[in-house]
Amino acid sequence: MILVTVGMQLGFDRLIKAMDRIALDQPEPIIAQIGPGEYWPKNIEARRSISGAEFEQTIADAKLIVAHAGIGTIMAAQRHQIPIVLLPRRAKLGEHRNDHQLATVDQLQDRNGVFVAHSEENLAQVIAAGLACNIGHDARPANASKLNAAVASFINSAKT
């Protein structure tokens, strides 16, 4: 199953329309979480929101995630070691307040299991690459333990 998700804050019709167009050519069934978007897809099972434990289970069951470049979604994908295809939201298309999602994909595009579609035109190609990828079991970045150590040391230094 391919999970398409755009987060809960903003719709992302460009992604949902593009997925709807290529849905029938995909080897996997598709479930889309479309948030407050206006476009309702015809070829995909769509829901406005999938919350809490159910969303967690859906991510775990997915073979691939296709999403906006939201940090929460990327982190959830990495936590479950599921490959993710990102289409960044663009400010000039009214998809977000600014272009920070472009900065996000620039920083993350070389990471294991992260695939970037720079436009909806090459989405199908990037999805094929994502489905073919074997993400393996790479350990959590060493940086994360460094930040945890910094947090623990800050708390320990507070007098009780």
Partner 1 sequence: MTKVLAVASGGGHWEQLMLLRIALDQFDTRYATTEKGFAEQHGLEKAHILPDCNQNRPFRSLQCLIVALLLIIKLRPDVVVSTGAAPGFFCIFAGKLIGSRTLWIDSIANAEQLSMCGRLATRIADKCLTQWEHLASDPSPDFAGALL
Residue ranges in contact with partner 1 by CB under 8 A:
7-9, 51-53, 55-56, 70-76, 78-79, 100, 103-104, 106-108, 111, 140-152, 154-160
Q: Which amino acid is at 72?
A: G
The residue among 70 and 130 lying less far from partner 1, judged by its C-beta, is 70
Cβ at position 106, least distance to partner 1 in Å: 8
CA 159 from centre of chain = 40
CB 19 within 8 A of CB 123: yes
Cβ at position 60, least distance to partner 1 in Å: 11
Cβ at position 111, least distance to partner 1 in Å: 8
Interatomic CA distance for residues 78 and 140, integer angstroms = 9
In terms of Cα–Cα distance, which of 125, 113, 119 is closest to 22?
Answer: 125
How many CA atoms lie less than 13 Å away from 4 in the CB half-sphere?
31
The residue among 23 and 82 lying less far from partner 1, judged by its C-beta, is 82
The residue among 132 and 139 lying less far from partner 1, judged by its C-beta, is 139
CA 129 from centre of chain = 15
The residue among 26 and 73 lying less far from partner 1, judged by its C-beta, is 73
81: left (phi over 0), alpha (psi -120 to 50) or beta: left
Cβ at position 33, least distance to partner 1 in Å: 13
